Structure 1
Amino acid sequence: MSRANRWRKIKLAFEPTSLRIPLGEIELLRTMPESTRKSPKYGQIAASIREVGIIEPPVVVRVAGEAERYRLLDGHIRIDVLKARGDDDVVCLVATDDEAITYNKRISRMAIVQEHKMILKALEKGVSEERLARALNVNISSIRSKRRLLDGICDEVAKLLQDRMVPLNTFREMKKLRPMRQIEVAETMMAMNRFSWTYAKSLVAATPQHLLTSEKRKAVRGLSDEQIEHMEREATNIDREFRMIEQSYGMDHLDLVLATGYLARLTENVRVVHHLARHHPELLAEFQRIVQLREAA
């Protein structure tokens, strides 16, 4: 198949140009609950529209058989805010298919490190902290905290966590650690897929004194000095075992993939299956179970 033919088979998700559509011509898929209007998310979107206008256009699809009617697929809060403001129309993206989905489910939410970089860029362009706070509908102290997010965080950790949804307080805990320990903690959180403040706090509590930035350890409520020392020893042992497992994981995983692939080929061979069913039914059942687990993974 030629490249031109391949391109002809690709269907655009949206019409090539956006349209300015009167709000009265847009059908809503649902009504806006009063509880949603009182939510922080609604307030944030309303503040953003008030300060900088519509950044992400709503998504509509044409109603079949009605040339001037559109059905809203994404952007119910934005449309509701515009109606409350008294706006008459809005620029929309026009989808080519009504997939009856929520487009926001396909959007990756912004990680806090990316939000930090966005705030720095805005400040560099002359946007004031006060205007940013109004646009995001947050307290100005929140803008300042996110602006200073990576102060005291080593570059390696910033790169490791740049796409992860990490709470602000987790970074505050990690600032208590020296750079090498920060990297170890970041790698541990990624391996466990746990980035909560409480988990970071437990890792900091289990950190030996010489890996802390402060010369004096802050007392941990509910734990004695002996318990903290025990936690440090256990954390060191766990970290050592984790490193050993991490080193062999790749080879073990490859062996497992090859073994399950071989079992899948065996169970596809009729003669082999008949032989196992007659002489080793327990092995056949186990092989088939392993293959089913592989296919379900």
Structure 2
Amino acid sequence: MREEDAMAPVTSWASDGIPSVSYALTDHTGRVLASRASHTVYYSASTVKLGVMLAAVLAAERGEFGGAGLGAELECRHEFVCGEVGRGHDGDDVVAETFVLDPDDRDAAFPPDGASASVAELVRMMIVRSSNEATNVLFDRLGAARIAEAFALCGAASTRMERRIGDPCAVRAGLTNETCAADLVAIVRALVTGAVTNAEHAEWMRGVLAGQEHPRIGAVLPSGVPWGSKSGDVPGIEHDVAFIGDGDARRYLAVCTRGFEPEQGREVIRAVAGALQTVAG
């Protein structure tokens, strides 16, 4: 392979092929310590799942799952309604088209159809190993409006989740999921500080993020530094957002990239995180 071919920008449905790198680093109060194009909007990939987690916690706090809270059980499934169920001109229900995720997007460890999992378990699957099936089950239970409300409470004005993961009908209808680096740090800060939830749930969400199995930023942090994160990727897109440290020393870092091969994008994230460690402290 020629060197120029190996380094060619990646073009996909989520990437226009123009390489782009954005980041935002804040302190524990949200004060910006370093940034670059932090309000540039990208396809969110799996980072948008942070809003689903927050919406689930808020629903539990409001009693929408009954007395079981996050322990409420939902039915697991691998097939989902494609787009929205409508009604015909005569008022009859329209037979809904359904979809299953592409093989590369499936969670091999997701429970079988008809099994039950608690909301808390589904959130962990969604964040820790980025289960798309868990995300879609929660999305259907919570609804797009609840998730939009969660992002609004964090002040994440450029972030939206309008559709299920992998929903081809919604994609054809122009619905998308988007975010930016500035929003991602605001979301994670709101999650882990208890700014929009009670302290118990904030601690629980910190623990969920700390279980991340696909670290980018966390991979270059010194041993012993507490951290938690949510990464996301699709062809041409690689993102990560993390909290780093504890208490007043805690920092929040998000890095968003577009137009790179997977390992190139991940190396960009690691390089930015490594370079900013002196700022992060």
**TM-score where L is the length of structure 1:** 0.25
Q: Is the helix fraction higher in 1 or 2?
A: 1
**TM-score where L is the length of structure 2:** 0.26
Q: Is the strand fraction higher in 1 or 2?
A: 2
Which has the higher relative contact order, 1 or 2, with Cα contacts under 8 A spaced 6 or more apart?
A: 2
